[in-house]
C-alpha cells in the first residue's frame, strides 16, 4: 500500500542554526508523538543538508532537497547534481515546484530530465504539479495537470514510476492562506490516480503517494488528509514551525 508522507518544504528560509533547531525540535516531537506509519521528510536548502543529515541519521525522518540539476556533472556553475545529493544521504528531491517553473523557467521537458537524473541516482522525486488561478477559473485544471504529468513522467517505465511521489499544489493556494477544499483536492487527486491507472495499471496507481500542497496547516489538515486519494502533504509555511508541522502529521 502507498506511503503516507508529510514533507516540509522550507523553501529559502532559515539560517543553518535556525534550521538545526527546527530539525531537532521536529525529531524530538516526532519521536514522542507520532505513529511510525507516517513518513516525515524535511526538504531543506542545499547548504543545510550535510549538517541535517547527521542530525536525522538516527531518526526515522528523511532528508530531501528542493531541486537538482538535469546534468550529471561538469561545467554548470552554481548547480547541484543528484549524485552529490545522494552522496550526502539525501533520499528525496522536490522537482517542478511552481516557484521553480515560474521564476526559473523550468519546463515539463527539463523536468523530465531532472526526474531521470534523480531516479538514476536513487533519489525519490516529489514531482509537483498544479494549475494557476486563471486555469482553475475556466475549469481547465484537470487537463493542465494531466499535461504536466504526461510530459514529465510518462516516459518512465512502470518500475521507475513506482518511485515517484506526486504533489498536487494548486498555485492559487500556495502561500496565499487559501486552501483547496477537501472536495476540490479529492477530485484532482482522484483524476491524477485515474490518469496513472490508464498509463501504468491499477497496482502502480494504488501504490503511488499523491500529496496535497497549498496552505496546509493544523486547522485544515485533518479534513484534507481524510480524503481517500490524499496520501499526505507538502507543507510550506507551516513546516517552518515545528509544532505546526508535527501537528499536521498528527492529524492522520
Ligand atoms: P504553503 O504551505 O506555504 O502554502 O506552501 C506550499 C508549498 O509550496 C509547498 O511546496
Residues 6 or more apart in contact with residue 18 via CB below 8 angstroms: none
For residue 115, CA distances in Å to 106, 120, 156, 175, 218 come to 12, 9, 9, 25, 31
> Ligand 1 within 6 A of 201 CB?
no
Nearest CA to ligand 1 atom 2: 236
- Cα separation, 218 vs 227, whole angstroms: 16
For 134-155, what is the mean pLDDT? 97
- Cα separation, 112 vs 94, whole angstroms: 13
Whether 175 has a pLDDT exceeding 90, the answer reads: no
- For residue 74, give the H/E element and its range: none
Give 134-187 as a DSSP string.
HHHHTT-HHHHHHHHHHHHHTTS-HHHHTT-EEEE--GGGSSSS----HHHHHH
Q: Which atom of ligand 1 is nearest to the CA of 177?
A: 4
Residue matched to cell numbers 476540490: 184
Cα-to-centroid distance, 194 and ligand 1 (Å): 25
Whether 176 has a pLDDT exceeding 90, the answer reads: no
Whether 252 has a pLDDT exceeding 90, the answer reads: no
Report the mean per-residue pLDDT for the chain: 97
Q: Which atom of ligand 1 is nearest to the CA of 174?
A: 4
22-33: pLDDT as tens digits: 999 999 999 999
181-196: pLDDT as tens digits: 999 999 999 999 999 9
Q: What is the pLDDT of residue 1?
A: 84
- Cα separation, 234 vs 174, whole angstroms: 10
Q: What is the pLDDT of residue 177?
A: 82
Strands, DSSP E only, in the chain? 4-9, 38-43, 62-65, 92-95, 124-129, 165-168, 210-213, 232-235
| Probe target for ligand 1 pocket from 211, 221, 236, with the most ligand atoms within 8 Å of CB | 236
For residue 210, CA distances in Å to 30, 39, 109 come to 22, 13, 21
Which of the residues are catalytic? 97, 169
Q: What is the pLDDT of residue 193?
A: 98
Whether 35 has a pLDDT exceeding 90, the answer reads: no
Cα-to-centroid distance, 218 and ligand 1 (Å): 13
Nearest CA to ligand 1 atom 7: 236
For 39-47, what is the mean pLDDT? 98
> Ligand 1 within 6 A of 220 CB?
no
- Topology annotation, domain 4-249: TIM Barrel (3.20.20)
Helix-, strand-, coil-residue percentages of the chain, each rounded to 5? 50, 15, 35
Q: What is the pLDDT of residue 80?
A: 98
- Grid cell, residue 129, equals 504539479
The fraction of the chain above a pLDDT of 90, given in percent, is: 96
| Probe target for ligand 1 pocket from 214, 217, 240, 244, with the most ligand atoms within 8 Å of CB | 214
Nearest CA to ligand 1 atom 1: 236
What pTM was computed for the model? 0.98
150-165: pLDDT as tens digits: 999 999 999 999 999 9
> Ligand 1 within 6 A of 126 CB?
no
For 44-68, what is the mean pLDDT? 97
Q: What is the pLDDT of residue 190?
A: 98
Amino acid at each position: 500500500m502507498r506511503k503516507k508522507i508529510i514533507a516540509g518544504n522550507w523553501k529559502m528560509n532559515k539560517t543553518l542554526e535556525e534550521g538545526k533547531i527546527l530539525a531537532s525540535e521536529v525529531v524530538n516531537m516526532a519521536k514522542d508523538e507520532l505513529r511510525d506509519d507516517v513518513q516525515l521528510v524535511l526538504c531543506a536548502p542545499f547548504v543545510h543538508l550535510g549538517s541535517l543529515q547527521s542530525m536525522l541519521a538516527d531518526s526515522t525522518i528523511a532528508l530531501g532537497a528542493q531541486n537538482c540539476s538535469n546534468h550529471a556533472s561538469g561545467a554548470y556553475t552554481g548547480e547541484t547534481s543528484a549524485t552529490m545529493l545522494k552522496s550526502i544521504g539525501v533520499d528525496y528531491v522536490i522537482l517542478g515546484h511552481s516557484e521553480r517553473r515560474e521564476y526559473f523557467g523550468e519546463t515539463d521537458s527539463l523536468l523530465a530530465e531532472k526526474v531521470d537524473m534523480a531516479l538514476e541516482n536513487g533519489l525519490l522525486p516529489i514531482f509537483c504539479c498544479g494549475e494557476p488561478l486563471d486555469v482553475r477559473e475556466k475549469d481547465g485544471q484537470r487537463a493542465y495537470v494531466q499535461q504536466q504529468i504526461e510530459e514529465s513522467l510518462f516516459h518512465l517505465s512502470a518500475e521507475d514510476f513506482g518511485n515517484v511521489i506526486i504533489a498536487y499544489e494548486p498555485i492559487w493556494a500556495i502561500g496565499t492562506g487559501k486552501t483547496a477544499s477537501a472536495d476540490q483536492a479529492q477530485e484532482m487527486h482522484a483524476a491524477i490516480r485515474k490518469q496513472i491507472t490508464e498509463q501504468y495499471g491499477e497496482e502502480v496507481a494504488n501504490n503511488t503517494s499523491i500529496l496535497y500542497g497549498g496552505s496546509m496547516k493544523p486547522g485544515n489538515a485533518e479534513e484534507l488528509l481524510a480524503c481517500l486519494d490524499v496520501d499526505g502533504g507538502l507543507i510550506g509555511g507551516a513546516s517552518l514551525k515545528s509544532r505546526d508541522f508535527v501537528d499536521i502529521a498528527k492529524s492522520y
